[in-house]
């Protein structure tokens, strides 16, 4: 009785029930198509995740993935990426990667060509070059323009606090200020500049992989690494449960490992939408005004998403591809 009831719910759920499956953050249709194409042409779920993220790196999806976006306080773009094999729990990640465009490729090289999990900064770039990835300037006219306008605006907004000169009105260099305010001032969230790609791919046999690629946050402090390359934060995958990926204010979200939490909830039987909602709610409990969303999918091919409602961010869009959708289909969830 109970089993058949569950079956009915699965079939009629708006979150689909079809494998193989690709789900990715934001309306990045080309990325979804690239990931799906990888699966259809016999590639693995890792290939699908890599191709999807790579497509966005090349297209500079919304300027927040790949080269030429999110210049830091010195005007340089640096990249973060992560890939997870949910069958073997192998993970490769790269953070604060400089002068190399193919961040997801480097993350996969960390996974497949080292025994490490995460390489960062200049040393990650040296590793990438050793592995044959070309060194290139990640700056574009667009990122130069963003940087110039930011300087002209007195370096506003920025991520500093409790320093002198007053970071709310002045550029650096900064040094420690007297005292410490008990609450940090609101983060300089730019809703248009937070569009990390996170991809979940699940094969017909239930093999799960997930990954992310991003250039982080506009005007970040050099060396800043967000949630995206951190396993359990930016994404998580486990073929015995499912996968999740997060997007938004990584400085906040990484404190709550929302992707890990969502996967563990799915392992315990939660539907993907409920798991995503719980992961967002956990962060919201401490930071009601955080900007972010989470996508989730389980090994039966169900999927869902959740987001924190903010002025200017009432809904979150994500892409789904399965045999049922016949091509990338745009899904939208109301934030709460
Ligand atoms: C970060 N989470 O570096 C990333 C940015 C992002 O959607 O997701 N934007 O904080």
- The string of DSSP codes covering 116-146 is -SEEEHHHHHHHHHHTTPPP-----HHHHHH
pLDDT band of 100, cuts 50, 70, 90? very high
List the beta bridge partners of residue 201.
Answer: 22, 209
- Assigned domain for 69 exists: yes
pLDDT attached to residue 291: 95
Range of the domain at 88: 10-138+193-334
Q: Which atom of ligand 1 is nearest to the CA of 195?
A: 7
Ligand 1 first shell, C-beta below 6 A: 64, 194-196, 214, 216-217, 226-228, 247-250
The answer to whether 175 touches 163, Cβ cutoff 8 Å, is: yes
Q: How many independent structural domains does the chain possess?
A: 1
Q: Whose CA is nearest to atom 3 of ligand 1?
A: 216
- Assigned domain for 176 exists: no
Percent residues over pLDDT 70 in the chain: 91
- Assigned domain for 94 exists: yes
- Assigned domain for 59 exists: yes
Q: What CATH code is carried by the domain that includes residue 203?
A: 3.60.20.30
Nearest to 247 by CA among 278, 199, 292, 290: 292
The answer to whether 89 touches 83, Cβ cutoff 8 Å, is: no
**26-35, 39-48, 183-192, 269-278: least confidently modelled range:** 183-192
- Assigned domain for 179 exists: no
What is the Cα gyration radius of the chain? 19
pLDDT band of 3, cuts 50, 70, 90? very low
Average pLDDT over residues 127-139: 97
Please write the tens of the pLDDT for every residue from 262-285: 999 999 999 999 999 999 999 999
Please write the tens of the pLDDT for every residue from 167-200: 999 999 999 998 777 655 455 556 555 579 999 9
Please identify which residue in the block is written with the tokens 């030429």: 68
List the beta bridge partners of residue 118.
Answer: 93
**73-82, 133-142, 177-186: least confidently modelled range:** 177-186
């Amino acid at each position: 009785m109970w089993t058949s009831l569950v079956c009915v719910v699965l079939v009629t759920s708006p979150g689909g029930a079809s494998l193989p499956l690709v789900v990715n953050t934001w309306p990045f249709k080309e990325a979804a198509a690239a990931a799906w194409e990888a699966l259809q042409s016999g590639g693995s779920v890792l290939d699908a995740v890599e191709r999807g993220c790579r497509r966005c790196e090349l297209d500079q999806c919304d300027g927040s993935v790949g080269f030429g976006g999110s210049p830091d306080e010195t005007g340089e773009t640096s990249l973060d990426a992560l890939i997870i094999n949910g069958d073997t729990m192998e993970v490769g990640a790269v953070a604060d990667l400089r002068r190399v465009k193919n961040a997801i490729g480097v993350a996969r090289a960390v996974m497949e060509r080292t025994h490490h999990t995460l390489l960062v900064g200049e040393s990650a770039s040296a590793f990438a070059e050793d592995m044959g990835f070309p060194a290139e300037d990640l700056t574009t006219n667009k990122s130069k323009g963003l940087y110039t306008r930011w300087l002209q605006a007195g370096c506003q907004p920025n991520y500093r606090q409790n320093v002198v000169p007053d970071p709310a009105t002045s550029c650096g260099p900064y040094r420690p200020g007297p005292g410490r305010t008990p609450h940090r001032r609101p983060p300089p969230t730019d809703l248009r500049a937070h569009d990390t790609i996170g991809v979940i791919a699940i094969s017909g046999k239930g093999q799960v992989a997930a990954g992310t690629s991003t250039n982080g946050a506009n005007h970040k402090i050099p060396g800043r690494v967000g949630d995206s390359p951190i396993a359990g934060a930016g994404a998580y995958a486990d073929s015995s449960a499912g996968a999740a990926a997060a997007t938004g204010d990584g400085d906040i979200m990484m404190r709550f490992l929302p992707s890990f939490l969502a996967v563990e909830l799915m392992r315990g039987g939660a539907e993907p939408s409920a798991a995503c909602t719980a992961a967002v709610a956990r962060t919201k409990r401490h930071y009601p005004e955080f900007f972010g969303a989470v996508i989730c999918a389980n090994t039966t091919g169900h999927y869902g998403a959740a987001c924190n409602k903010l002025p200017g961010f009432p809904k979150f869009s994500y892409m789904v591809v399965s045999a049922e959708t016949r091509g990338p289909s745009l899904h939208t969830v109301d934030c709460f």
